[in-house]
Amino acid sequence: MDVKSTFLNRDLKNEIFIRILLGVETKKEQMWLLHKALYGLKQASREWYLKLKGQLEKLDFKRSDADHRVFTKIINGKLFVIAAYIDNFLLFSSNISHIRTVKEDLERHFEMKDLGEAKWILQMKIEKTDIDNRMKKLTIFQEQYIETILEQHSMADYKPAKTPMAANLQLPTLTEAKIDITEY
C-alpha cells in the first residue's frame, strides 16, 4: 500500500517560520509562519509518523518495541502485521479477508493506492512460494542491496574469497580510530 501526499497538509505542533522565497515582494526580514507541513521540512517525517501511529493505535494496532515502524494486532486469533516504511506499507496476515478489512480501514483515513502483492522493497526482492496447501514461505533476497553497497565502495569487481584476510593475521591494537566513520 502506498499513501499519497504523505507529507503535505499535516498539522504542525511547533511554530515553524521560513524565509520568503526570492522574487516575492515583502518587507525586509519578514518571514512566513507555516500552518501545515511541506516536503523537505525536517519535521514533516515526524509529523507523518505521529499521525500514522495515532491512527493505527485507534485501529487497535500495537507498536513494536523492537522496531517502531512495525505494528501488530491479533484479529480472531490470527496475527496481523503492518510494516511501514515512510509512505509504503507491507501488510502480513494468513487471512486474506483480514487484509482486505484492514486495507479498507486504512483507506478511510488516508488516500492510498494498493500496489498489489509486494515483489520488491528497499532494494530487496520478495518471493512467495507454496510449501503445501496450507503454508506459504516468504524469502527475502538482498542481492541487489549488496551489489549497490559494493558499487558505492568501488568493490563491485572484486573476486569472492573464503576468508577476506589471512587466517592467522595478527592485527595491531589501535589507540584511536583510523577509519573514516562518515563513510558508514
Q: What is the pLDDT of residues 6-56, one digit of tens each?
A: 766 566 777 777 777 777 777 777 787 777 777 667 777 788 888 889 999
pLDDT above 70 (res 151): yes
Report the pLDDT value the prediction gives residue 35, as an integer from 0 to 100.
72
Tell me the three state secondary structure of residue 146. Answer: helix
Q: Which of the two residues, 46 and 68, has the higher pLDDT score?
A: 68
Q: Which of the two residues, 163 and 74, has the higher pLDDT score?
A: 74
Report the pLDDT value the prediction gives residue 81, as an integer from 0 to 100.
92
Kindly tell me the burial class for residue 138, based on how many C-beta atoms sit within 10 Å of its own C-beta (0-12, 13-18, 19 or more): exposed
Report the pLDDT value the prediction gives residue 20, as an integer from 0 to 100.
75
pLDDT above 80 (res 101): yes
- Per cent of the chain over pLDDT 70 is 94
For range 172-181, the mean pLDDT: 77
Region at 157 (left for phi over 0; alpha for psi -120 to 50; beta for the rest): alpha
Report the pLDDT value the prediction gives residue 56, as an integer from 0 to 100.
92
Q: Which of the two residues, 4 and 55, has the higher pLDDT score?
A: 55
For range 135-163, the mean pLDDT: 86
User: Please, are residues 44 and 37 in contact by the beta-carbon 8 Å criterion?
Assistant: yes
E-assigned strand segments in 53-182: 62-63, 70-75, 78-85, 88-93, 112-113, 120-121, 124-130, 136-141
